[in-house]
Structure 1
Amino acid sequence: MQTGLQALIFDVDGTLADTERDGHRPAFNAAFAEAGLDWHWSVELYGELLAVTGGKERMRHYLAQYRPDFELDKQRYSDLDTLIVQLHKRKTELYVERLGQGGIPLRSGVLRLLREARDAGVRLAIATTTTPANVTALLDSGPEPGLVNWFEVIAAGDVVREKKPAPDIFEFALAQLNLPAAACVAIEDSENGVRSALGAGLDALLVTTSSYTESQDFGGATLVVDQLGEPGDPASALMGDLGGAEYVGLDVLRRLLDQVFG
C-alpha cells in the first residue's frame, strides 16, 4: 500500500474562489427580484445565513428565522418546496452567467498548487455542498483550459443526503478515490467544513480563511492560513506553522500529513 500524500480534497466556495459575497449572494437577490419577492440578503445577513450549508436549506432557514410572516402565492406555486427549487435553479443560472463573465477569479495560490499537485501525480478531488453546475462553471471560467478535468472526483450538491458539517461528502470523496483519510489533505475555509472533514477522519486539515469565515472557530485544523499565497504574495500562518515557507506548496502539505499521521 502506498503511503504519504496521495490526494488533495478541496472545498469550493471560499476555498478555490471567494464566491459567496460577490457571486452567490447577488445571484440569490436577482432570483428573488425576478420572482417578485421582497427578500434581500445584505452582506451582513448573508454572512449569518452561511451558518447553514446548501442554498435550498439556506432559503428555508431564512424564512423560518427572518420571515415567519411570509405567505406563499398559491396561484403561482403549489407549495413552498416548489418555490424554493425554482428559485435555486434560477439562482444557479444567474451565478453561472456571472462566472462566465470572469467576475470571480481563483484565490491567490490556488492554480499554482493545483499545477504543482498535478505535475507531482497527486490526485485532486472536490467535496462541496454547492451544485455540480456551480463547480463546473467556476473551473471553466478559470485561467487554465480544461481545469475541471484535472479533478478525478467532484463530490458536490445532493450526491449525499446530509450536507456539511456532516462528514458524508468527504466520506463519499474518499470512497470514490479509494484512499484512506491518512493519504489525503483536506483544504477548507469554514468551521462547518472543518467539522465535516474531521468527521470523515481527515485530520490533516488546512484552512485558508475567506472574507466570511476569518473569525470562525477552526479548532482541530492542523494549519490555518490567510491564503495559499504566491511568490511575492506570501501566506501568513494564523494557527500552526508554515515551516519557513513563503506559501503553501506540496512540501508544506506533506509535512502537515506527516505531523498528523506520522
Structure 2
Amino acid sequence: MSTLKALLFDVDGTLADTERDGHRPAFNMAFEAAGLDWNWDEALYGELLAVTGGKERIRFYLEKFNTDFEKPDNFDDFVKGLHASKTLFYTQLMAEGKIPLRPGVEALINEARAEGMRMAVVTTTTPQNVTALLENTLGPDSESWFEVIAAGDIVPAKKPAPDIYVWALEKMNLTAADAIAFEDSLNGILSSVAADLKTIITINGYTKDDDFSSADLLLDQMGDASNPFTVLAGDAQGHTFLNLDLVKKVHAA
C-alpha cells in the first residue's frame, strides 16, 4: 500500500466559491467594458459550467445561448481579449477581499505544511487567477507552498480529460497511488478518477446535483471544529471535519 505523499487541490469551487462570486461577475464586468449587452446570471452560469476554461466558456455561450451574435473576423483574438479583460477584473475582485476561502481549507493546508506534506494546484483556471486567490487569502508567499501549479493551457485537453493531473504527477515524480485529489465538480472528478486518483469531493451550490458516485468521500464542505461537515457519501470514520488524519485514512481505504 502506498503512503500518501501529496495533496492535489482543484481551485474554483474547491478552495473558494470563486465561480459564483468571482469569475461570473468578472465576466460580466469584461462584457460591459467591451460594450457588450451580455449578462451571465447565476442560473445561466450554472449551465455554462458544463465547459471548463474561460475562453472555452465564452465560445460555448455563443454556440448554445447567444447564436445571433455576429462573430468578428478576428474571433480568436476577440475571445482572448475578452478573457484577458475578465482576468484583470477577477484579480481586482480578489485584491478587494471579495472571495474568502471555503471553511476548513486554510486549516487543512496549514496542517499539511506543518507535516511536510507535498502539495500542488491542479486546475483549468489561469495561473494569474491562482496567484490572485492564494496571495489574497493565504498571504503573499503562499504560492511557494505548492510544489507545482498546474493551471490554464499547460495541457491542450482540459478537465474532464485527465491530462492536467497526469502532468502534475509527472512533474512531482509521483504515481497516482502516492496522491489524493480534492475536487468539487463532475468535470473535476471525471478528470481525477481518469488519472486513477482517489478523490474527496466538497460540493457547492452549482455542483450539488452532479454525479459523484465515484468519489471516495463526498462532503458538503471541509468544515472545522465549530462548523462540522455533513457526510453525503462515504465513511468519515468518526471525524466531523476534514483534517490530514482523515485524508490519510481515505487514501488508505
Q: Deviation string for 1:48-103 (max 9, x for gaps)?
A: 0000000100010100111111113x5xxx42111100000000000000000001
2:250 maps to what in 1? 256
Q: Does 1:114 align with 2:101?
A: no
Equivalent AA in structure 1 for residue 160 of structure 2: P
1:36-47 map, 5 Å:
36-47=35-46
SS class of match (2:180)? strand
1:193 aligns with 2:188: yes
Runs of 4+ in 1 over 6 A off after TM superposition: none
**Number of the residue aligned with 1:161:** 156
Structure-1 residue corresponding to 2:223 = 229
Could you say which residue in structure 1 is the equivalent of 2:240? Answer: 246
Which runs of structure 2 are paired with 1:124-203 in the superposition (5 Å)? 124-202=119-197
State the AA in 2 paired with 1:58: R
Letter in 2 for 1:250: L
**From 197, 200, 213, the counterpart of 2:207:** 213
Matched residue, 1:33 = 32
Q: Which moved more, 1:152-161 or 1:230-239?
A: 230-239
**Separation in structure 2 between the aligned mates of residue 208 and residue 177 of structure 1, nearest angstrom:** 25
Q: Aligned residues, how many?
A: 253
Specify the SS of the correspondent of 1:141.
Answer: helix
TM-score under structure 2 length normalisation: 0.98
Q: C-alpha separation between the residues in 1 aligned to 2:32 and 2:104?
A: 36
- Is there any run of 5+ residues in structure 2 with no aligned partner, and where? none
Output the amino acid matched with 1:184.
A
The 1:153/1:234 distance shift into structure 2, 3 A limit, reads same
Q: CA deviation at 1:144?
A: 3.7
Q: Which whole-Å CA distance do the structure 2 matches of 1:4 and 1:230 have between them?
A: 25
**1:236 Cα deviation from its structure 2 partner:** 1.1
Q: CA deviation at 1:3?
A: 3.5
| Number of the residue aligned with 2:20 | 21
Shift of 1:200: 0.7
Aligned residue type for 2:89: L
Task: State percent identity of aligned pairs.
Answer: 52
Counterpart for residue 64 of structure 1: 63
Distance 1:235 1:149 in 2: 29
* Cα 1:171/1:143, change in 2 over 3 Å: closer
Per-residue Cα deviation, 1:169-205 (whole angstroms, up to 9, x for no partner): 0001101111111110100000000000011111x11
Distance 2:139 2:78 in 1: 37
Displacement of 1:143 in angstroms is 4.1
| Root mean square deviation of aligned Cα | 1.1
Q: Offset at 1:145?
A: 4.2
Secondary structure of 1:201's counterpart equals: coil
1:96-128, Cα deviation, whole Å (9 max, x unpaired): 000000010011000100011111111010110
Cα distance in 2 for partners of 1:224, 1:39 equals 35
CA distance in 1, matches of 2:139, 2:28: 30
In 1, distance between residues paired with 2:229 and 2:174?
A: 29
2:91 aligned with 1:96: yes
